[in-house]
Amino acid sequence: MNISKEQIDDLNAVVKVDISKEDYHDKVEKILKDYRRQANIPGFRKGQVPMGLIKKQYGRAVLVDEVNKLLQDNLNKYLNEEKLDVLGNPLPKQQDSFDWDREEFSFEFELGLAPEFDANLKTKKPVTHYKIVADKKMIEEQIERIRKQYGKLISKKEVGKKDEVTGTFTNQAEEIDHKSTLELDKIKNKKVLESLTGKKPGDVVTLKTKGLFKEDYLLSGALGINRDKADNLNIEVNFTIEEINERQPAELNQELFDKLFGKDKITSEKELKERLKADAEKQFEQQADQKLLNDVTERLIETTKFDLPSEFLKKWIQMTGEKPLSPEEANDEYEKSEKGLRYQLIEGKIIKDHNIELTFDELKEFTKGFIKSQMAQYGQMNPAEEELDAIAGRVMSNQEEVKRLSEQLMSQKLLALYKEKANLKVKEVTYENFVKEVYG
């Protein structure tokens, strides 16, 4: 067998594989002899079927199968030995005059080669690294919510402007019949507030749904309907008052601090504010990190210039999908996937240049950390190490889960690298301003 490569240009090559009779003959003969021993053909005793008949019936199929195995195994071996960085898979070139009755065969494969380039993390224009801070207003609002959540409900006979009113919303045409509790400080419409003020249990008030709440998302929960329906709803509903309560906020004292964080973990209002600020900013850090990862990715794609073997890749997309595509369809698919392919190559280059590796032990510890955080959501704060090991073992036996967790761990490692090496400009913002800048 002989394998040779013709370099077309920096991104394209053709590999030629020549297979002679000596490469496949003995293997084909052995398989056909095995077929002869096992063949049950009417008119012949088992094992006594003439070899000529066996070759006539099975010879071509066995030959094709063995030549294709030889071809695949040796082509892959050649690509690995020559360290050819191939995009997609080799594409066989069409041979109109190919003849399986010959004893020697030649096959040609088109290769699309990965480009050589440098991936520089120190981009000329810096990437914004947001540091989201919890400002005084946010902390005060959170404390107010906590005090209300842990406060006492005092029953009342008439509705006041800051009370909580429980009742049932009804609208026969829209099939609405849902019991809800209205927090009147979340009502947007002043006329609605006036119409509710002074009412008593048993009274029925007609309310317009459009613009009812300060936050639009509250409407779906209040009426017991899905969000899509609520977003466009502009009707009148009847609200039958059943119960009226005033929520008396909890005092900021040691009893409340212990309920929130455990006995004597927080001992003053100052410490409470510091803890709430730290917890909020830790949560915000995850959003800021994801934004940074996305922005560095975009900047690298924008600034790392290289060509791709685009015509080869379009042909590869056209020929290797679940169903054959037209040239136009393949071109569309290529345009959709080109950006992702570019970043895969850039990411691979960065990982190689900075010797980033994932070890089994690292992945196992990462998996255990993920499991621990999941368990904490269900109140299991201190699972035993043996239990974590057992669950991690089951998770890591699933290849899809291993792939997903490996990608997450690699993203963490890349993020740490970007924070250390990339050209970043730190910008301190409140969460409110972060949302405005990032999401408009």
Please state, in angstroms and rounded to a whole number, the distance separating the CA atoms of residues 382 and 377: 12
Residue 338: CB atoms within 10 A of its CB come to: 14
**What contacts 152, CB < 8 A, 6 or more positions away?**
247, 248, 250
**Length in residues, the chain:** 440
199 CB-contact burial (10 Å; exposed 0-12 / middle 13-18 / buried 19+): middle
Nearest to 333 by CA among 344, 345, 318, 346: 318
pLDDT over 80 at 260, yes or no: yes
| % residues pLDDT > 90 (the chain) | 76
Please state, in angstroms and rounded to a whole number, the distance separating the CA atoms of residues 405 and 407: 5
Please state, in angstroms and rounded to a whole number, the distance separating the CA atoms of residues 396 and 406: 10
CB-side neighbour CA atoms (13 Å) of 158:
7
Label residue 196 by pLDDT band (50, 70, 90): very high
Per-residue pLDDT tens over the stretch 230-247: 988 999 999 999 999 998
**What contacts 110, CB < 8 A, 6 or more positions away?**
12, 13, 14, 90, 91, 93, 312, 315
pLDDT for res 341 = 94
Q: Please identify which residue in the block is written with the tokens 């947001």.
A: 130
Label residue 427 by pLDDT band (50, 70, 90): very high
Max Cα-Cα span within the chain:
105
Domain 2-113 has CATH 3.30.70.1050: yes
| % residues pLDDT > 70 (the chain) | 100
Label residue 373 by pLDDT band (50, 70, 90): confident
In Å, how far are 147, 268, 284 from 271, measured between CA atoms? 16, 5, 20
State the pTM of this model.
0.74
Mean pLDDT calculated for residue range 409-424: 95
Mean pLDDT calculated for residue range 10-23: 94
pLDDT over 90 at 2, yes or no: yes
pLDDT over 80 at 381, yes or no: no
Q: Among the listed ranges 195-199, 205-209, 230-234, 280-284, which one has the minimum average pLDDT value?
A: 230-234
Nearest to 245 by CA among 322, 292, 183: 183
* Fold exhibited by the domain 152-248: Chitinase A; domain 3 (3.10.50)
pLDDT for res 45 = 79
CATH 3.30.70.1050 in the chain, residues?
2-113
Nearest to 300 by CA among 256, 343, 332, 250: 343
pLDDT for res 177 = 95
Mean pLDDT calculated for residue range 323-339: 92
pLDDT over 80 at 321, yes or no: no
Nearest to 120 by CA among 249, 293, 334, 299: 299
pLDDT for res 124 = 92
Please state, in angstroms and rounded to a whole number, the distance separating the CA atoms of residues 139 and 143: 6
pLDDT for res 391 = 92
Given strand 12-19, what is the order of strands in its sheet?
Answer: 2-9, 12-19, 105-113, 86-92
Per-residue pLDDT tens over the stretch 35-53: 888 887 787 878 788 888 8
pLDDT for res 330 = 93
Label residue 139 by pLDDT band (50, 70, 90): very high
Label residue 171 by pLDDT band (50, 70, 90): very high
Label residue 54 by pLDDT band (50, 70, 90): confident
pLDDT over 90 at 162, yes or no: no
Per-residue pLDDT tens over the stretch 294-320: 999 999 999 999 999 999 999 999 988
Label residue 190 by pLDDT band (50, 70, 90): confident
Label residue 274 by pLDDT band (50, 70, 90): very high
Alpha-carbon dihedral 264, 267, 271, 273, rounded to 10 degrees: 100
pLDDT over 90 at 400, yes or no: yes
CATH 3.10.50.30 in the chain, residues?
152-248
Tokens of 317: 């997309």
Q: At what angle do helices 327-353 and 310-320 cross, to 10 degrees?
A: 120
Average pLDDT of the chain, as a whole number: 92
> What residues pair up with 106 in beta bridges, in sequence order?
18
In Å, how far are 151, 167, 214 from 248, measured between CA atoms? 5, 20, 22
CB 112 within 8 A of CB 88: yes
